[in-house]
A and B are shown apart, each in its own frame.
Chain A
Amino acid sequence: MNLRFIATKVLRAIITLWMVVTFIFIILRISGDPTDTMLPDDADADMIEYYEKEWGLDRPLPEQYLIYFVNVFEGNLGQSFKDDRDAFEVVTERIPMTLRLGLASLIFGLCFGIPLGIYAALHRNSLADRLAMGLAVFGYAIPNFFLGILLILLFTLALGWLPSSGSATGWHMIMPVITLGTGGAGSLARFSRSAMLEVMNQAYMRTARAKGVARLRRIVFHAIPNAAIPVVTVLGFKIGGLISGSLITESIFAWPGVGRLLVTSVTSRDLAIVQALIMLVALTMVVANLLIDLAYGWLDPRIRVSSQQQKD
């Protein structure tokens, strides 16, 4: 892959991160005195003085901005109101649980959505296609908080099969994963169906058929790799959806992850934690989008080549 392609993508990622940090800095400064908003109410004078110095509040605004940047860069994001622990630490210890839930949901979405979409495309306009797409629209449109509640009503209250909250065993994961993954599965199904249909109409598919390539081989080696290209790009949006979905899902099922931490921190206005979490989300999104851009360039040689030509 050529260097220029990677460099422009990385540069854009850095600009986005810079904008997020600046955005937080601005709303932090216009929402009041940071020692009031960021520190616990019972903070003593020494502590306030310490942080005033640490954040450079006695200096001019541009200098404060620089100091803020350095602090963010060093992971120095202030302390939680609740237990005076370092915000960075509080946030990072929650990450594995969210990652577990998010990855499982992503896999759930991929494993159900893509085969459903491919199947529907291969049986276009049949009853199975209609049913599959009806299911996909349903999954895509149902709000995840409502789906979560319906699942609890069915599997916990009516059938008594699954626990409705906590994270102790694998059984606890089933309902959160369905709640979080269904929306993505629905839209992936719709998207992979239309991507497949587009590819199947291409001339090279007709050529493959004329050459006498077997149907299964045509689908697996000719159609799917080409249809995968547009599907990969929507994965970026899916990751954003997973992050906002995890707020709701983790709150419904009392899952001890980052999403629930963000909701409780916003409720109690524990701003150091909120700040750290937003940085984390921004970083995740930017890295995810960067990886997807690079994967896209790797999958589709046309993109690499066109950016090569721009250079020449």
Chain B
Amino acid sequence: MAPHSPSTVDETLPGITRGIFSKITGEFARMPWLVILCSLFIVAMCFMAIFAEVLAPQHYADQDLVNRLKPPSFLGGPERYLLGTDELGRDVLSRLLYATQISIFVAFAGTMIGAVIGTFLGIVAAHGRGMVEETIMMFVDAQASMPFMIIALAVLAFFGNSFWLFVLIMGINGWENYARLSRGMVLAANTHGYVVAVRSLGARPKRVYLRHVLPNIASALIVQFTLNFPSTILLETSLSFLGLGIQPPLTSLGLMLGTGRDYLLFAWWLSVFAGMLIFITTLSVSLLGDWLRDRLDPTLRR
């Protein structure tokens, strides 16, 4: 992604006072219907994730061994199980809700960690210049040149799996994007009048970057967040699908799809619903992200 030229930063960000959220609400009226649909779906997914405990008809681990592998109720299964049951007679609908909660939480926490680390290092690189910048950018290049899934597998193989290590690995995925982006934008901002003015008033670097530069580059970082989020979901679900991510008794959408694979022959509903949710979620977030990017920052358009 190309660093910003000063003029475009000015155009897209008319001032510190006008925040990104008012900008988004202003744009809301002009959203194409597809993007509205995507946003509604994302809101619904977040709602499901937050209120999974309340919404789920049953606890995700409740077993009903008499009713194992029953089809969804609209296909002739028992009435209590709207989307059927799995190999231990657990309600698929309830498990989907809990799985959504875990998947969304892991992806959100992971993307957040990546954003914070990456932005911080990007700012440090732009502030430090010289050797510091060279070193950070060397790491950025090295990470970008390896498929991250392989690195994640290496760490999991050597350290064994635990939930928080897994979340941390999700965070390391994609930090280089924020680092590259924020470095470029801070370098551009440092030549701007407002930064020079604040600095000559005697503000320390911490104040300059946190109070003045960060709010001005926030919109591009948020766009990057929405573009990174789907890849984090996919990384989590892929690893869980392979049995190397979220471990039972916890469940995630990828893990449901992975275990459902063994029962594909006689119980397609175990995997297909989970797969659909992953697919539509990642698609919605990336379409929204593409739209936001084009809206907020025409220079980033491919």
Contacts and interface: CB of A to CB of B under 8 A. Distances in A.
To the question of whether A and B form a pair in one complex, the answer is: yes
Interface of A: 12, 15-16, 19-20, 23-24, 27-28, 31, 37, 137, 141-143, 145-146, 149-150, 152-153, 157, 191, 194, 240-241, 243-244, 247-248, 251-252, 262-263, 265-267, 269, 271, 274, 277-278, 281-282, 285-286, 289
Contacts, number: 120
Interface of B: 138-139, 141-142, 145-151, 153-160, 230, 234, 237-238, 241-244, 254, 257-258, 260-261, 264-265, 268, 271-272, 275-276, 278-279, 282-283, 286-287, 302
Nearest to A158: B268
A241 B147 contact: yes
Given A12-B141, A153-B264, A267-B244, A244 B147 contact: yes
Given A263-B242, A285-B146, A152 B264 contact: yes
B153 A266 contact: yes
Contact of A266 (B156, B230, B261, B287): B156
B147 A281 contact: yes
Contacts of A143: 234, 237-238, 275, 278-279, 282
Contacts of A271: 157-158
A266 B268 contact: no
Given A19-B142, A289-B145, A146 B275 contact: yes
B242 A269 contact: no
A252 B257 CA distance: 11
A267 B70 CA distance: 30
B8 to A, nearest CB: 19
Given A16-B141, A27-B159, A194-B302, A145 B149 contact: no
A274 B146 contact: no
Contact of B154 (A27, A142, A194): A27
B158 A31 contact: yes
B155 A27 contact: yes
A15 B258 CA distance: 37
A145 B238 contact: yes
Q: Which secondary structure dominates where chain B touches chain A? A: helix
Given A146-B275, A191-B302, 18 more contacts: A15-B138, A16-B142, A16-B145, A28-B158, A141-B283, A146-B276, A149-B271, A149-B272, A150-B275, A247-B242, A263-B242, A265-B157, A266-B156, A274-B153, A274-B157, A278-B150, A278-B154, A281-B146
9 contacts: A12-B141, A15-B142, A37-B158, A143-B282, A145-B257, A145-B258, A150-B272, A157-B265, A269-B157
B36 to A, nearest CB: 17
A239 B287 CA distance: 24
B154 to A, nearest CB: 5
B146 A251 contact: no
A157 to B, nearest CB: 7
Given A27-B155, A146-B278, A149-B275, A141 B286 contact: yes
A248 B241 contact: yes
A103 to B, nearest CB: 17
A267 B160 CA distance: 9
A91 to B, nearest CB: 13
Nearest to A32: B158
Contacts of A24: 154
- Closest 8 CB pairs between A and B? A146-B275, A244-B149, A240-B147, A266-B157, A31-B158, A141-B283, A244-B147, A274-B157
Contacts of B151: 23
Contacts of B242: 247-248, 251, 263
A11 B142 CA distance: 13
A141 B284 CA distance: 10
A113 to B, nearest CB: 15
Which of B148, B154, B278: most chain A Cβ within 10 A?
B154
Given A248-B238, A285-B147, A286-B145, A157 B261 contact: no
A262 B147 CA distance: 14
A28 B158 CA distance: 7
Contacts of A286: 145
B159 A31 contact: yes
Which of A23, A143, A191, A252: most chain B Cβ within 10 A?
A143
Contacts of A145: 237-238, 241, 254, 257-258, 275
Nearest to B244: A266
Contact of A153 (B237, B272, B286): B272
Contacts of B278: 143, 146
A247 B155 contact: no
A20 B264 contact: no
A91 B5 CA distance: 47
Contacts of B160: 269
A179 B69 CA distance: 27
Contacts of A269: 157, 160
A158 to B, nearest CB: 10
Given A143-B275, A143-B282, A281 B238 contact: no
Nearest to B260: A149
B264 A149 contact: yes
Contacts of B244: 263, 266-267
Nearest to A153: B268
A152 B157 CA distance: 29
Contacts of B230: 141
